[in-house]
A = this chain, B = another copy of it.
């Protein structure tokens, strides 16, 4: 049985969306079944059908956008049901020191409260991929790498 991974993003400029699709490449390379969805089209109930959930958001005031937060707030209805699933996070922001690390960490903290399992990376973007504006070659590499790592962990725990 293949593990199932959801990559769920909010994107206005298209940068976070582009990161989502790069991460998808990485997850798919591990053999996991992978979906990419706009956060506004995800019902919290859907989260239950995945083994891994990776959330991405632009950095607005050092945090995920209200739209991404809304999905998390609504997910309280299924609190406890995501326990043990694998989680991940990514973000794009406007400038260095502009809050992308805190955004990724805030998403990860929310996933920990759901009881999820997350992994860091000793190389590159430690908490999850971050992009300063448009994803460049460095970001592309980071996103694919992150997708592979989260995909592998999901396969090991749920595949």
Binding site for B on A (CB under 8 A): 60-67, 69-70, 72-73, 75-76, 79-80, 82-84, 95-102, 104-106, 108-127, 129-130, 132, 153, 156-157
Asked if residues A60 and B83 are in contact (CB atoms below 8 Å), the reply is no
Q: Please list 29 pairs of residues, one from A and one from B, whose beta carbons are closer than 8 Å in the complex, sorted by A's number.
A: A60-B72, A61-B69, A61-B73, A63-B106, A66-B67, A69-B69, A83-B121, A83-B122, A96-B132, A97-B100, A97-B104, A97-B124, A97-B127, A97-B130, A98-B126, A99-B113, A100-B101, A101-B101, A105-B105, A109-B127, A112-B119, A113-B127, A115-B120, A115-B122, A116-B120, A117-B118, A117-B119, A118-B119, A118-B120
Contacts of A79 in B (CB 8 A): 122
Asked if residues A101 and B106 are in contact (CB atoms below 8 Å), the reply is no
- Kindly state the separation between the CA atoms of A28 and B133 in the bound complex, as whole angstroms: 35
- Kindly state the separation between the CA atoms of A100 and B100 in the bound complex, as whole angstroms: 11
Contacts of A76 in B (CB 8 A): 60-61
- Kindly state the separation between the CA atoms of A71 and B125 in the bound complex, as whole angstroms: 22
Min C-beta distance of A80 to chain B, whole Å? 5
Asked if residues A120 and B112 are in contact (CB atoms below 8 Å), the reply is yes
Sample of 11 further A-B pairs with CB below 8 A, known A65-B73, A113-B122, A115-B120: A60-B72, A60-B73, A61-B73, A62-B112, A64-B69, A66-B70, A84-B119, A105-B105, A112-B120, A115-B119, A156-B156
